Amino acid sequence: MMLSKHVFVFITLFTLFFGACKKVDIQFGEQFVDNEYTQIYKTDSFSADVYTVLVDSFITSAKGITIIGGLNDTAFGKINTKCFFEVTPPSFQAVYDSTRFDSLSLILTLNKSYYGDTTKPLQVEVSRLSEKIVLPEGETDFYNNRSFTCFPTAIGSGSFLIRPSATDTISIRLDDAIGKELLKKLQTSSDDIKTSSAFIEYFHGLRISSSSSHLLINCTDKITMRLRYRKPGLYQLEEKYVDFSLATSQHHFNNITADRSGLTNGLQNLGVNNKIIPSAQLNNQAYSQYITGVVSKIKFPTLRDILKIRNYAKILSAKLKIYPVKGSYDIYSSNTLPPALRLSITDLNNTIGSDLGFYTSNGSYVSDNGNLFIDKLYGENTVYTYDVSDYIKQLSKTVGDDKSGLLFLPPANAHVTQFPRIIFGSKNHPTSKIVLEVYYATVN
């Protein structure tokens, strides 16, 4: 009876000391001389602090994507896009005598990526630039907040019902007066049409925009301004055309803005004077949609407490599990969860650093885009899982007030060309959570 009491007291003290830790039946290997004195434990008691961070600006030039449309997102704000670019004339040939103008149009090629409602037509407008596209002094790229002025009247518009699986191109009819002017320059061998640089001095470029607020679509940068004309043949007029193509990808960029002033979830408070908001001020949630200027940041402030565990030896491995907020996504629409999201190391300034990842068998380093499991039945166990062993091991060795964290991002390039979004909760959220599972060893 006395022995039972001692055992009960020992178990009670052991449980109180280790809290959420529990012994795991894993073969440790030969790291220690005598495994008889080695114990392995698993803990998920380390809390994660989460924040939503403002993205000031990002490069959108030379990304190969033309973004068209707008969308009212109840969580992230009113998204609006414009695309700016230059076109260059075809190689000059003196074959336009006796030709008659037919039409001028802008042809865009879809890449099948979209975000929003495709059951309603998308309104597209094309405007002619009234100033040249010029890089600011000392810079080599255009950012999402850059724009150039246009003439007040659009030179073309159209309403298109987009079927992402079936629609390959859209063609927007442009002003006949401009088409006739271009053909006249071809007929008269005008200097304005003989070289790309001369043509851009005359025709500065175009802007594509939209007044729609329900759909965003992605097109490639294969942009063609097609001038159709008729030329006398042996028996009848022959239909012909000549194409003006994208001049340079470096001067092709997307202007992307998000108006959060009408939101009530707390994101409306994000701004230049308030660039980072803890989840406690956002209903215990964090928001991530890089292309609209917000990204989630995760920190583990209590991780070094593992060093205080009696007889602690080392961390063996660590997994990070991120559960999205239930009801914040729809797996059967374009508002589904992004299939891939990477974790990038960041600092006090919230700059994007190196990605967490792994080496393949051929020695190349690959970013870990997470293993997404979707609970289609209840949605409660939908989770992204990451192996963060190396990062957590290094973080546990960091001395002092560490400012390191992880940014939750789409794969490289997709974060500035697509609109994947995710909302997840902090430790105080009722339906969402972040779990850090750490396996560690102690030596008696």
Query: Are residues 401 and 281 both part of a single domain?
Result: yes
Across the chain, what does the average pLDDT equal? Answer: 90
Query: Are residues 297 and 210 both part of a single domain?
Result: no
From 259, 285, 308, give the residue that closes a domain: 259
Read off the pLDDT of residues 366-377 as tens digits, 9 standing for 90 and up: 999 999 999 998
Domain assignment present for residue 297? The answer is yes
- Alpha-carbon distance 32 to 38, whole Å? 8
Parent domain of 50: 19-55+272-443
- pLDDT for residue 192 is more than 90: yes
Query: Are residues 161 and 32 both part of a single domain?
Result: no
Domain assignment present for residue 338? The answer is yes
Query: Are residues 226 and 277 both part of a single domain?
Result: no
Residue 9 — very low, low, confident or very high, per pLDDT cuts 50/70/90?
Answer: very low
Query: Are residues 168 and 315 both part of a single domain?
Result: no
- pLDDT for residue 380 is more than 60: yes
Cβ atoms of 44 and 436 within 8 Å: the answer is yes
Query: Are residues 101 and 47 both part of a single domain?
Result: no
Domain assignment present for residue 6? The answer is no
- Alpha-carbon distance 65 to 221, whole Å? 5
Domain assignment present for residue 429? The answer is yes
Residue 400 — very low, low, confident or very high, per pLDDT cuts 50/70/90?
Answer: low
Domain assignment present for residue 76? The answer is yes
- Alpha-carbon distance 429 to 193, whole Å? 62
Using CA of residue 50, residue 54, residue 57, residue 63, what is the dihedral sign? positive
From 259, 289, 304, give the residue that closes a domain: 259
- pLDDT for residue 21 is more than 60: no
Query: Are residues 278 and 386 both part of a single domain?
Result: yes
From 213, 235, 259, give the residue that closes a domain: 259
Query: Are residues 228 and 353 both part of a single domain?
Result: no
* Burial of residue 382, with CB atoms counted within 10 A of its CB: 0-12 exposed, 13-18 middle, 19 or more buried: buried
Query: Are residues 49 and 72 both part of a single domain?
Result: no
DSSP annotation of 97: T
Domain assignment present for residue 227? The answer is yes
Query: Are residues 208 and 283 both part of a single domain?
Result: no
Q: Specify the pLDDT at position 23.
A: 55
Nearest in space to 172 (alpha carbons), one of 102, 226, 216? 226
- Alpha-carbon distance 87 to 244, whole Å? 6
Query: Are residues 204 and 223 both part of a single domain?
Result: yes
- Alpha-carbon distance 396 to 388, whole Å? 12
Q: Specify the pLDDT at position 378.
A: 85
The structural domain count of the chain equals: 2
Residue 37 — very low, low, confident or very high, per pLDDT cuts 50/70/90?
Answer: low
Read off the pLDDT of residues 325-362 as tens digits, 9 standing for 90 and up: 999 999 888 889 999 999 999 998 899 999 999 999 99
Instruction: Give the pairing of strands 357-359 and 122-128.
Output: unpaired
Q: Specify the pLDDT at position 401.
A: 56
Q: Which amino acid is at 338?
A: P
Domain assignment present for residue 139? The answer is yes
Query: Are residues 69 and 51 both part of a single domain?
Result: no
Domain assignment present for residue 424? The answer is yes
Read off the pLDDT of residues 204-241 as tens digits, 9 standing for 90 and up: 999 999 999 999 999 999 999 999 999 987 777 889 99
- pLDDT for residue 27 is more than 50: no
- pLDDT for residue 12 is more than 50: no
- Model-level pTM? 0.87
